[in-house]
């Protein structure tokens, strides 16, 4: 069983890279200005009736760097970097521009992670349209199964999970996406959907190591 799983994961490693490279130039997000987002727009010309239901507020989940992340990699000087747990993650040398693409591998061999950076923003209006379009180009059945805005180390960041298949191999693509004054950052983990629940905590801890300087 372990041998079959390893063969499946080896095939997944190759196909996941195709999916990852197709998304390098995308992903933007319009971040709300406040921690509490008011989803209603009451008429300011009318008095507020305290007996009626008040506007609903959504609390953005707070995420901070885990204590176990003790190794820091500065990606863009004075702008941003990532803290990792070097007992679980290994930085891979790709021989590429270190400031635009960096890869990490989980010591268990079941997970890959990729950090992509561009020094320009992506239009917020194009965000969902662009990410889904690029995902569909390499996996027609890809779909967003989870997304939410999180406050990560003081910055609002989109967390998203996309599931799909490439060459009949299923994948889960779980990452953080940020656009702001420093440019666009994509911090992505790639794993088999069958293993996602088992590794979700470690994946989230890894993503929470993203540190954007104010």
CATH of 2-29+60-212, one of 2.40.240.10, 1.20.140.10, 3.40.1000.10, 3.30.70.1110: 3.40.1000.10
| Distance separating alpha carbons of residues 55 and 50, to the nearest angstrom | 11
| Distance separating alpha carbons of residues 130 and 204, to the nearest angstrom | 24
206 to each of 43, 132, 135, 201, how far by Cα in Å?
43, 24, 23, 9
Does the structure show a pLDDT above 80 at 74? Answer: yes
pLDDT band at 181 (very low <50, low <70, confident <90, very high): confident
Residue 12, both tokens: 């997944």
% of the chain with per-residue pLDDT over 90: 40
pTM: 0.73
Question: How is the chain split into domains, by residue range?
Answer: 2-29+60-212
| CA 23 from centre of chain | 12
| Amino acid 89: pLDDT | 95
Query: What is the 8-class DSSP label of residue 107?
Result: T
| Distance separating alpha carbons of residues 188 and 161, to the nearest angstrom | 9
């Amino acid at each position: 069983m372990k041998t079959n799983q390893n063969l499946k994961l080896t095939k997944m490693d190759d196909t996941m890279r195709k999916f990852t490279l197709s998304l390098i130039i995308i992903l933007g997000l319009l971040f709300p200005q406040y921690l509490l987002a008011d989803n209603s727009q009451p008429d300011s010309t009318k008095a507020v009736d305290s007996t009626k239901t008040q506007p609903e507020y959504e609390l953005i989940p707070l995420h901070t760097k885990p204590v176990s992340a003790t190794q820091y990699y500065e990606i863009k000087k004075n702008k941003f970097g990532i803290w990792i747990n070097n007992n679980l993650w290994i930085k891979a040398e790709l021989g590429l521009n270190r400031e635009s693409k960096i890869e990490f591998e989980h010591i268990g061999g079941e997970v890959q992670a990729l950090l992509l950076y561009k020094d320009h923003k992506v239009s917020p209006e194009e965000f969902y349209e662009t990410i889904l379009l690029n995902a569909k180009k390499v996996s027609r059945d890809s779909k967003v199964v989870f997304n939410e805005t999180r406050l990560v180390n003081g910055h609002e960041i989109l967390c998203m999970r996309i599931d799909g298949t490439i060459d009949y191999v299923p994948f889960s693509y779980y990452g953080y996406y940020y656009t702001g004054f420093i440019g666009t950052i994509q911090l992505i983990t790639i794993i088999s959907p069958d293993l996602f629940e088992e590794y979700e905590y470690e994946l989230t801890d890894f993503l929470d190591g993203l540190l954007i300087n104010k």
